[in-house]
Amino acid sequence: MTYDLAVVGGGILGLAHAWQGARAGLRVAVFERNAYADGASVRNFGMLAIAAQQPGPELQSARASLAAWQEVAASAGISLRQAGCLFVARRPEEMDLLVERAAARGPDVQDFTLIGAEDLACHAPGLKEGALGALYSPEAWKADQRGVPAAIAAWLARDHGVTFHFGTEVIHAGDGQVETTDGQHAAGQIVICGGNDFARLCPDAWAQSGVSTCRLQMLRTAPQPEGWRLKPFVMGGLSMARYTAFANCDALPALRAVQSAQMPEAVKHGVHVIIAQEDDGSITLGDSHHYGAGAAPDDPAKVDDLILAETDALMTLPERRIAARWVGNYAHLSGQSLLRISPCAGVTAVTVTNGQGMTHGFAVAAETIANLTA
């Protein structure tokens, strides 16, 4: 078969590139080695975290990507819920950071509202007593991460004529050909969206780029009782220290110092906690960050316990039984949010390297396809 564009990988990046390619009038095929997407795109929180971005180009990219998500969701009939997010302060240093961030205003700054301790219960049930206040932003959307890739693939096949080759691994890409476990196909352009795994297809480019892997642990509770609903994503001080939305705050060094002194194990394992309710009532909890190939912690159960301890410090969940635990991986490049390289003529490899491909994926794809079709 001959295609204008062959996309390797059926995760959110691959699907976003396939959509942008089809919209540009290209004949597109997607090759996914599993029977369905099984990478980071189905293992995350489904958080389109506009609120967590650094004002400037990062925030603009997230907002552009959200606009594309909304268009896709409406056309493909998938649910995209404006959940909002709540950064809850339990330490004075956290509150100082939130107050400073709330004071920043302007068209290129997120819409944040400072919430007093007495009003917290209106925003989220189950928050622990003793919280000092919170910062709320409406700019966070919840996608159903487990169902979205399959739904988008079905819609792309049906409405955009994209051909899907599931259960088909690409073993070589170059010279206008994709060689797969199911035969060879000609392609004018090849875009590799293999997540943290394009090392196998482009070993030299992977090695030269300096990119590595980040391993994350995640948990999910059993469904909460009927009627108990948590609308926003809830996060605490560890997330404030992680997200670039707070990177320029003068209060950040003091917060980091307190965390290093008071929660060294959580800091060591890169734990920060996001609490997110799924449509089935369960709560997704995570995560941790271990960097480098084969960087599993010695005691993964201890890392889960750190995530749960931080969750318990923030909230009382009526149903605390853990129904599922899993690991996710993404490509990581320190201080860089995107790796887009061309290892040889006609081949582009693209991966989001800051762990926020759900938030930025559609904007990244629009740029790649614009470059290829210019």
Ligand X SMILES: Cc1cc2nc3c(=O)[nH]c(=O)nc-3n(C[C@H](O)[C@H](O)[C@H](O)COP(=O)(O)OP(=O)(O)OC[C@H]3O[C@@H](n4cnc5c(N)ncnc54)[C@H](O)[C@@H]3O)c2cc1C
Residues that bind ligand X (CB under 6 A): 8-14, 31-34, 37-41, 43-45, 47, 49, 169-170, 193-195, 197, 201, 216, 218, 286-287, 328-330, 351-352, 355-359
Query: What is the nearest approach in angstroms of ligand X to the Cβ of residue 287?
Result: 5
Closer to ligand X by CB, 39 or 237: give it: 39
CB-CB neighbours of 67 under 10 Å:
11
- Residue 117 or 300: the one with the smaller Cβ distance to ligand X is 300
The answer to whether 54 touches 192, Cβ cutoff 8 Å, is no
Pairing of strands 183-192, 2-8: parallel
Question: Smallest distance, Å, CB 250 to ligand X?
Answer: 27
Residue 137 in contact with residue 232, Cβ under 8 Å?
A: no
> 270: Cβ–Cβ under 8 A, 6 or more apart, which residues?
288, 289, 290, 291
Q: How far apart are CA 125 and CA 317, in angstroms?
A: 9
60/262 with CB nearer ligand X: 60
CB of 297 to ligand X, least distance (A): 15
Find the shortest distance in angstroms from Cβ 173 to ligand X: 8
Of the pair 13, 283, the CB lying nearest ligand X is at 13
Residue pair 20/154 in contact by the 8 Å Cβ criterion? no
Q: What angle do CA 69, 74, 78 make, to 5 degrees?
A: 80
Nearer to ligand X, 136 or 330 (CB): 330
Pick 76 or 95: Cβ nearer ligand X: 76
A 10 A CB-CB count for 239 gives 21
| Least gap, CB of 142 to ligand X (angstroms) | 9
Buried b vs exposed e over 70-106: b needs ≥16 C-beta within 10 Å?
eebbeebebebeebbbbbbbbbebbbbbbeebbeeee
Residue nearer to ligand X on the CB measure, 36 or 316: 36
Report the nearest approach of ligand X to the CB of residue 354 (Å). 8
What distance in Å separates the CA atoms of residue 223 and residue 229, rounded to the nearest whole number? 10
Query: Based on CB atoms, which residue is closest to ligand X, 13 or 275?
Result: 13
Per-residue DSSP letter, 128:
P
Q: Is 40 exposed, middle or buried (0-12, 13-18, 19+ CB in 10 A)?
A: buried
Nearest distance in Å: CB 143, ligand X: 9
Compute the least distance from the CB of residue 320 to ligand X, in Å: 20
| Phi, psi for 342 (deg, rounded to 5) | -120, 95
Nearer to ligand X, 237 or 357 (CB): 357
Environment class of residue 116 by beta-carbon count within 10 Å: exposed (0-12), middle (13-18) or buried (19+)? exposed
* Least gap, CB of 180 to ligand X (angstroms): 7
Instruction: Return the bridge partners of 219, or none.
Output: 285, 325
For residue 257, the minimal CB distance to ligand X (Å) is 27
User: Whose Cβ is closer to ligand X: residue 32's or residue 304's?
Assistant: 32
Asked whether the bond before 287 is cis by omega within 30 degrees of 0, the reply is yes
